[in-house]
Amino acid sequence: MTYQPHLNRRHFVASLAAGAFALGWKLPDASPGMAAAGEAAAVGIWAVVQPDDTITVRIARSEMGQGTLTGLAQLVADEMDADWKFVRAEYITPQANLASGHAWGDMATGGSRGIRGSVDYVRKGGAVARAMLISAAAKQWRVPESECVAAKSIVTHTSTGRTLRYGELAAAAALLPVPTNVTVKDPSAWTIIGQPVHRLDTEGKLTGKQVFAIDVQLPGMLNAAIAQCPVFGGKLVSFDAAKITSMPGVRHVLKVDDATVAVVADKWFQAKTALAKLLIVWNEGENAKISSPQIAEYLRTGLDTPEAGVGNAHGDAKAALAGAARKIEAVYTTPFLSHATLEPINCTARYTADVAGNRLEIWAPTQGGDGALMAAAHAAGVEPSKVAVTKLHLGGGFGRRGENDFVMQAARIAKQVPGVPVKLIWSREEDMTHGFYRPITMAKMSAALDDHGNVMALHARISGQSITAWKNPAALAANGGVDFGQFQGWGKGEFGYEAIPNVLIDHAMRNTHIPVGYWRGVNTNQNAFYMECFIDELAHAAGADPLEFRRKLMAKNPKHLDVLNACAAKAEWGKKLPDGVYRGICQNMGFGSYTAAVAEVSVSNEGALKIHRIVAATDPGHVVNPDQVRAQVEGSFVFGLSAGLYSEHTIENGRIAEGNFDSYEVMRLAAMPKVETVIVPSGGFWGGVGEPTIAVATPAVLNAVFAATGKRIRDLPLKNQDLKRT
């Protein structure tokens, strides 16, 4: 599944003896020590060419269904002028990245950066490989390189028609100096980038050959189940293992950390069954007195406080609001949310202590391989150079597997059972009630309208929890206590309504004891709901068509407007719909991409909502694989509609109340509408794909619900609201 790359000329020769040619290039942050004596540049390995022309592209990012594995391979293959039918992909190991001085850069996969954060150096690497192959052919033919061209894994001498396959050139190319200055293709010359080529991971998933982390099986492996203090911040007092040690399969009952107990058994169900009978005493602490009503009241105190960090401002919104001819206000709320990945949280670890020293092996579904390695090393007290991480495909990540709590737990358990691999699997209930949740927030939206219905001022006040305060307080302090991530979609260059003359967007931080983290789309999801539903309210107050109202406000934001117009055209905005069907529209910008959506819905007299159709448009700049973009857009609406319509976590006595899918609802197949994707690639930049359109799912539907019922939904999820006609 994974391969340890080698990093110097000697290892190049060794790989040639094995029949493979490894191609690489120097990255901006590559360690100078990577270069062998006398070489002009340090070399890291990214692509391997076999004698049969097979090209294996090394991937540093994680694949969790979003298509990053294939997309990155497309970037390399296009710049190599490779034939796609020969292309394969495999992961670079975190330990190789560590040993090379992080030559492959940041391995973290999140924020829709898997491709857009790798584009420059990955494409240059492909271009270097092409140049080396052409140079090897030219030397063999004794002709100038300028007379040789590459295409579909073949180098051709233009004047004689002679050809050499990449597999034939591999050995000679490997011995050439690595060029340090190459030019990547102009988009007009792309042959693989931008094409709907087949995904490299589909066959393995269809045949069952693809190994996910939860599938790992090792000789002599044991299985672990855990229980953590039900209240965040609580502690483990004691447990009585005597009554369960004789149960079938039970091998160990262990303290993992100050708030966690594990049962290790032959089979996982044996461990889970025994754990349920284990008598555990918890000290739940003061947080056990906190429930959702207190948290909501705490957030309300932030709606009007003068103490707030400013994320975006121009003009004087407060003065304009104070003197407004007409003032509109509304308060919106969003709840805590789980990531709810299909594959439960899991990690396998083996700790070995012998004359060779302490070593740790990890098999993990991680969004950040190098981060997982360092976390495991810290947890087990092992030098990072003695840790080996096998990174596997993720059965869903959405930000949850960017955390390393489960990796550290597996390492600590394995250290107490040395020499034996132990697979830790969280139960679904443990997963739901011990995550890092999408933060709870409220927003007070205020706007001033003049006598003609023009928006003269807008003040958006967010009150809610800060991810940065939870995860990286030092960064928060460096930013003067302002969490700029809180303003996703509303920051400079993202806010789509710059024609409004007076704008103030600020945040009153209100942190709770509930741990928060990056949830697919992060704050842009809440913010798009707040802004786009409020803009719709303003359009209604002004007596204007929601599309035309937005067009006027977006006069200074042409890219936003182009995507909105493309979406409206595809949805045939303004065309009469069947009786009882109504439209809603919205737009947003986040993660480097512009998005818009139109929803068509109906609501029965009994209040039953049916979403008939979603039209979604996106401009991510350049498109690597349009089929993958469409798949991501469609999947993002499953995710976004689940959040807007069904999902929520409430707090009872300090703990998460919803422990499984019976109480934490998600979108079901029967409720899922048809999604039509409009891709509007304007070029010139690389935007994200996996997260941006999540943000427009909820406001498009809720604006349509208003058109159908006259009811404004300001508190999510929608399932808690009464849509019955009155």
Say whether pLDDT at 239 is over 70.
yes
Say whether pLDDT at 33 is over 80.
no
Give the pLDDT score at 103: 82
- Domains, the chain: 2-207 (3.30.365.10), 213-285+345-425 (3.30.365.10), 292-337+437-720 (3.30.365.10)
In Å, what is the CA distance from 533 to each residue of 358, 676, 721?
A: 57, 22, 16
Where does the pLDDT of residue 15 fall: very low under 50, low under 70, confident under 90, or very high at 90 and above? very low
Give the pLDDT score at 21: 56
The strand pairing partners of 360, in sequence order, are 351, 387
**Pick from 14-28, 170-184, 265-279, 308-322: least confident:** 14-28
Backbone angles phi, psi at 191, to 5 degrees: -120, -25
Asked if residues 214 and 344 have their Cβ atoms less than 8 Å apart, the reply is yes
Say whether pLDDT at 13 is over 50.
no
If one counts every other C-beta atom within 10 angstroms of the C-beta of residue 382, the result is 20
Say whether pLDDT at 2 is over 80.
no
pLDDT, tens digit, 9 for 90 and up, residues 537-555? 999 999 999 999 999 999 9
Dist CA 232 CA 514 (whole Å)? 6
CA proximity to 392, closest of 625, 217, 518: 217
Dist CA 591 CA 594 (whole Å)? 9
Give the pLDDT score at 8: 37
- β pairing state of 582-590 and 593-603: antiparallel
**Pick from 330-334, 352-356, 383-387, 479-483: least confident:** 352-356
Write the burial class of residue 38 (CB in 10 Å: 0-12 exposed, 13-18 middle, 19+ buried).
Answer: exposed
- The one-letter amino acid code at 37 reads A
CA proximity to 180, closest of 139, 122, 128: 128
**111-128 average pLDDT score:** 93
CA proximity to 4, closest of 39, 51, 44, 55: 44
| High-pLDDT (> 70) share of the chain, % | 94
Dist CA 663 CA 651 (whole Å)? 13
**Pick from 73-77, 84-88, 101-105: least confident:** 101-105
3-state secondary structure of 725: coil
Say whether pLDDT at 675 is over 90.
yes
pLDDT, tens digit, 9 for 90 and up, residues 354-383? 878 899 999 999 999 999 999 999 999 999
Where does the pLDDT of residue 170 fall: very low under 50, low under 70, confident under 90, or very high at 90 and above? confident
Sign for the CA dihedral angle at 616, 621, 625, 628 comes to: negative
pLDDT, tens digit, 9 for 90 and up, residues 479-528? 999 999 999 999 989 999 999 999 999 999 999 999 999 999 999 999 99
Give the pLDDT score at 18: 36
